[in-house]
Every structure is written in C-alpha cells, then in structure tokens.
C-alpha cells in the first residue's frame, strides 16, 4: 500500500465521520427548532387563555349579574377554560419531552465524537507502528535481500484491524 492509498483511506474515513457529524447536528437543530415551536405554542395558548378569561369576566359581569342563574354562560365558560388548561398541560408535557430529547441528542453526539476521536487516534498510531516495524524488519533482513512491500504491510494492517474488531465484538457480546 502506498502512502497515497493510506491518505485516501484516511480521507474516506474523515469524510464518513464528517457526514455522521453533520447528520447528528441536523437532528440536534431539528430538536431545538421543535422545542422553540413548542415554547411559542405554549406562549400563544397562555395569551389566548388570558384573553378568554378576560372576555368571560366581561360577559359574566354584563349579562349575568346574578352569576349563573339567567343565561348559563358561566358554566360553559368554565368548561372552555378547563379544556384550555388541559390542552396547555399537554403542550407543557410535550415541551418537557422535547427538552429531554434535545439533551439526550447532545449527549449522544458528544459520545460519538469522543469515540470517533479514539478510533482515529488508534488508526493513525497503529499504522505508524506498522511502518516503523516494516523499516526494522527490512533493515534486519537486508542481508537476505528480502523486502517487505507496502502491499504486505497493508495486508498485515487490515488483518490486525479485523482481529481487533472481532475482539471488540466478542468483548461487547460478553458485556
């Protein structure tokens, strides 16, 4: 494997990671936008509730001086007010759930970034160790005119990474 091929692999890895980060950020922005909509809806519902409450006071004071005995508007208005309060509670619960989802998405994004940084660091360190090992082996076998090519190094590197991935999977299954 030539250095350019390794550089290309690292670039492909970085592109994949950047795509993953962009997708997570888009999800986070969507959750924040939904949270803003929920806050706006709650504020509108509270304003509407205050308007209805004030208009009901006016109707009650103007039309029903004896409160509930003549036209029956007060019980109807109380029922509407109760329904609006229940709707407001549901919106509040939706807002709380949305905030929890946003926090969860932020935490997951941070964990993914940390994990990707660890894997990227391991990848670069392992490749550099293999190149150093290749140089040492080439120097040792110089008298025998044997040389380790980049292709052999690439095969050894991928074999090492596959074994490492299998060990990680076994460890995850055991946990």
**Mean pLDDT score across all residues of the chain:** 72
Cα 75 to Cα 71: distance, rounded to the nearest angstrom: 10
Burial of 78-98, coded b for 16+ CB within 10 Å and e otherwise, reads: eeeeeebeeebeebeebbeeb
34-71 burial code (b ≥16 CB/10 A, e <16)? bbeebeeeeeebeeebeeeeeebeeebeeebeeeeeee
3-state secondary structure the chain: CCHHHHHHHHHHHHHHHHHHHHHHHHHHHHHHHHHHHHHHHHHHHHHHHHHHHHHHHHHHHHHCCCCCCCCCHHHHHHHHHHHHHHHHHHHHHHHHHHHHHHHHHHHHHHHHHHHHHHHHHHHHHHHHHHHHHHHHHHHHCHHHCCCCCHHHHHHHHHHHHHHHHHHHHHHHHHC
Give every CB contact of residue 127 below 8 A, 6+ residues apart in sequence: 6, 157
**pTM of the model as a whole:** 0.33
Res 7 pLDDT > 50: yes
- Residues 102-116: tens digit of each pLDDT: 888 888 888 888 887
Q: Backbone phi, then psi, for 145, in 5-degree steps? A: 60, 35
Residue 127 has which token pair?
Answer: 């490749």
- Supply 128's token pair: 């550099």
> Which pLDDT does position 161 carry in this prediction?
76
- Give the pLDDT score at 144: 54
Residue with structure tokens 């709380």? 96
Give per-residue pLDDT as tens, 35-83.
888 888 888 878 777 777 666 555 555 555 555 444 555 566 677 778 8
Domains and CATH numbers, the chain: 3-174 (1.10.287)
């Amino acid at each position: 494997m030539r250095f350019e091929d390794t550089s290309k692999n690292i670039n492909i890895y970085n592109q994949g990671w950047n795509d993953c980060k962009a997708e997570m950020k888009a999800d986070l922005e969507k959750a924040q936008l939904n949270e803003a909509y929920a806050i706006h809806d709650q504020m509108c519902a509270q304003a509407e509730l205050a308007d209805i409450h004030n208009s009901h006071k006016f109707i009650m004071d103007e039309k029903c001086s004896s409160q509930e005995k003549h036209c029956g508007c007060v019980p109807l208005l109380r029922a509407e007010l109760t329904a609006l309060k229940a709707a407001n509670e549901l919106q509040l619960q939706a807002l709380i759930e949305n905030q929890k989802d946003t926090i969860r998405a932020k935490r997951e994004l941070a964990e993914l970034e940390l994990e990707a940084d660890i894997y990227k660091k391991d990848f670069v360190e392992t490749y550099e160790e293999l190149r150093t090992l290749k140089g040492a082996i080439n120097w040792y076998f110089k008298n025998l005119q044997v040389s380790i090519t980049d292709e052999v190094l690439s095969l050894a590197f991928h074999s090492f990474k596959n074994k490492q991935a299998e060990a990680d999977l076994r460890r995850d299954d055991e946990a």
